[in-house]
């Protein structure tokens, strides 16, 4: 018989990871309404926005406004790809910052035109400076299972990369199946390995539902001992390298599975669906998650 955690934390990534790849421009006021509705639903850790170049990602040009104008509830994280982004985030008042790097060289080269090593070396002084200032740093490790260019990733490389971030003093690792290809055995094995081989650190699992295995992967990761999961309300988001990919696992579906398993999250599934209804008219594709569909059919 397996043992599951009694309590699980969901880190909401819809407003950042979800909207960052959204082709339709979402207005600042609609993003803020979405974020507030998610806070109302009981979300206490959230990726709010991203301090990337507005030239590259016009969707996130309102990052400073989003930080300033949203209510301060729990851990509000913003993404910063580099020192410039981190400085802008700090100026806006952010106290929790996420950085990211892929395990795969080819992925990093395609994504930010740097090798994995170059990416880490570039982030190191940024992270050290943030930690000096007492900022919470979340390191997002992408392509931890598969790379769209290189295929299967060696779990030892994931451990090695995680250790380098831990040495820099980061607070949390979010380890991601960016392309949505991991299966539940791989989920169990990688997270078991990370729990066994890494020193004490907040460890979060990030799954995409491209091949419909996200909840199975979350279930398997819980069996390995993981109790923190990234998720995105409405399943917003996707990987630009995976055409047709349906993106992040939906917060309402994960929260419902936890409810069903009697695992406490503090999150109201119905209120997450209400938050989804706030953003749904402003995105370019219909939202069709399990619980949101039931919500629309008045089955919640």
Q: Hey, which residues are catalytic here?
A: 239
| Residues 16, 247: Cα–Cα separation, whole Å | 13
| Residues contacting its own copies: total by CB under 8 A | 41
Piece of the chain touching its own copies by CB under 8 A; list 34-42, 163-171, 254-262, 270-278:
254-262
> Token pair of 122, please?
């570039």
* Among the residue ranges 13-21, 84-92, 132-140, 283-291, the one whose residues contact its own copies (CB under 8 A): 283-291
Q: Is 299 in the site for its own copies (CB under 8 A)?
A: yes
* Rounded CA separation 38/32 (Å): 10
Q: Tell me the closest approach of the beta carbon of residue 297 to its own copies, in angstroms.
A: 3
First-last CA distance in the chain: 31
Interface with its own copies (CB under 8 A), residue from 67, 215, 273, 280: 215
Q: Tell which one of 105, 210, 231, 248 touches its own copies (CB under 8 A).
A: 210
**206 lines the binding site for its own copies (CB under 8 A):** no
Instruction: For tokens 């998720």, name the residue.
Output: 231
DSSP-assigned letters across all residues of 227-278: -EEEEBGGG----TTSTT---BPBHHHHHHHHHHTT-B----HHHHHHHHHH
Instruction: Please list every residue from 73 through 132 that binds its own copies, using CB under 8 A.
Output: none
**33 CB-near residues (< 8 Å, 6+ apart):** 278, 279
Which of 11, 220 has the CB closer to its own copies?
Answer: 220
d(C-alpha 145, C-alpha 107), whole Å:
12
CA distance 284 to 26: 10
Q: Is 225 in the site for its own copies (CB under 8 A)?
A: no
Contacts (CB under 8 A) with its own copies, residues 1-40: 1-2, 4
| Interface contacts to its own copies, rule CB under 8 A | 1-2, 4, 181, 183-185, 188, 209-216, 218-220, 223, 242-246, 250, 253, 256-257, 260-261, 288-291, 293-294, 296-299
């Amino acid at each position: 018989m397996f043992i599951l955690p009694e309590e699980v934390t969901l880190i909401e990534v819809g407003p950042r990871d979800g909207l960052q790849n959204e082709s339709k421009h979402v207005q600042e006021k609609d993003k803020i309404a979405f974020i507030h509705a998610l806070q109302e639903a009981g979300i206490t850790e959230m990726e709010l926005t991203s301090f990337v170049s507005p030239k590259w990602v016009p969707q996130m040009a309102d990052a400073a406004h989003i930080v300033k104008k949203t209510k301060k509830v729990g851990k509000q994280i913003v993404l910063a790809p580099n020192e410039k982004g981190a400085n802008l985030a700090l100026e806006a008042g952010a106290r929790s910052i996420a950085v990211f790097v892929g395990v795969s060289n080819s992925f990093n080269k395609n994504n930010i035109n740097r090798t994995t090593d170059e990416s880490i070396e570039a982030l190191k002084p940024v992270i050290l400076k943030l930690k000096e200032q007492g900022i919470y740093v979340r390191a997002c490790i992408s392509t931890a299972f598969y790379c769209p260019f290189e295929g299967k990733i060696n779990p030892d490389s994931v451990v090695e990369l995680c250790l380098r971030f831990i040495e820099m003093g980061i607070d949390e690792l979010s380890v991601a199946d960016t392309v949505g290809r991991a299966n539940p055995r791989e989920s169990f094995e990688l997270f078991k390995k990370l729990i066994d081989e890494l020193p004490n650190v907040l460890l979060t699992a990030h799954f995409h539902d491209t091949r419909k295995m996200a909840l199975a992967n979350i279930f398997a990761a819980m069996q390995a001992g993981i109790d923190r999961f990234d998720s995105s309300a409405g399943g917003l988001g996707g990987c630009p390298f995976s055409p047709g990919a349906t993106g992040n696992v939906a917060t309402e579906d994960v929260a419902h599975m936890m409810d069903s398993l009697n695992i406490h999250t503090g999150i109201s599934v119905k209120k997450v669906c209400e938050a989804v209804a706030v953003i749904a008219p402003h995105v370019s594709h219909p939202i069709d998650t399990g619980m949101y569909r039931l919500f629309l059919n008045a089955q919640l």
